[in-house]
Amino acid sequence: MTLKVRIIPCLDVACGRVVKGVNFVDLVDAGDPVQAAIAYDAAGADELTFLDITATSEGRSATFDMIARTAEQCFMPLTVGGGVREVADIRKLLLAGADKVSINTTAVKNPDFVAEASDKFGDQCIVVAIDAKKVSSKGEEDRWEIFTHGGRRETGIDAIEFAQLVVSKGAGEILLTSMDRDGTQVGYNLPLTRAIADAVHVPVIASGGVGNLDHLVEGVTKGGASAVLAASIFHFGTYTIGEAKAHMQAAGIPVRMHT
């Protein structure tokens, strides 16, 4: 009777291989992306997200090939992000088999690109990935700013204002990663997630910091997220998708138990 909360494993890929960064550095090879995607498809994941962290054009073509091979075997939604700079990049990703495309640095540099992309492909296709870090000091009111380039470059842009701006330009969804939490396994940054979810009318995907299944529940109940994304806990087999769903259902969150 109702839309279900999505559980989304995220695969960071470089040159067609899955890697997982801890705080976006010290990358560890966590396997072959197509095999991982097939396993997640069978396990009942609600969506898959590929973030391409490849810096070279050769690596990029390996990624396109990976998406195409995944889309041949997995009949589930795929979001792909990383290195999207122009409308032609989005077209190529969609033709390879992506359903949604995630834009990060380009949206920060030029928010009008979000408008151009959503006019062309529809709002529902355009995800803006926001990497935010707390910049307020202890005792101050919480304030978060946007970081780009895998979290290395600060921009001075307020995260909430930026989220509202890109949604007004046509972003259909926000993929919100807390840079403070990513890879730490101490849980989502809930105040940040709640602040962004309350500020925009589009779905927010919580990301960064999941270490156990209660963290997924909190992302929804306390953070107000429409979907929860995690990488390490699934990649390294700490929990299965099924265990995550059962845990969320037991906490009263509507999830899709059958594929």
Partner 1 sequence: MQIAIIDYGSGNLRSAQKAFERASREADISADIRLTSDADWVSKADRIVLPGVGAYADCRAGLDAVSGMVEVLEDAVIKQAKPFLGICVGMQLMASRGLEKATTNGLGWIAGDVVQLQPKDKNLKIPQIGWNTLQVQKPHPLLEGIETGEGGLHAYFVHSYHMECVNTDECIATTNYGGAVTAITGRDNMVGTQFHPEKSQRLGLALISNFLKWAP
82 token code pair = 């990383």
Least distance in Å: CB of 182 to partner 1?
A: 23
Among the options 12, 46, 52, 182, which is catalytic?
12
Distance, CA of 173 to CA of 244 (rounded, Å)? 23
- Segment interacting with partner 1 (CB under 8 A) among 20-28, 121-129, 146-154, 243-251: 121-129
12 has catalytic annotation: yes
Residues 11 and 52: their CA atoms lie apart, in Å, by 8
Say how far residue 173 (Cα) sits from the centre of its chain. 10
Separation in Å, CA 41 to CA 37, 76, 80, 142:
6, 7, 16, 38
Q: Which residue matches tokens 């890109």?
A: 166
- Give the per-residue contact string, 34-63, with partner 1 (x = CB under 8 A; - = no): -------x----xx----------------
Among 157, 203, 214, 239, binds partner 1 (CB under 8 A): 203
Which tokens go with 1? Answer: 């009777």
Residue 168 binds partner 1, judged by CB under 8 A: no
Any contact of residue 227 with partner 1 (CB under 8 A)? yes
Which range in 49-57, 68-76, 211-219, 241-249 contacts partner 1 by CB under 8 A? 68-76
Options 123, 154, 180, 214; binder of partner 1; rule CB under 8 A: 123
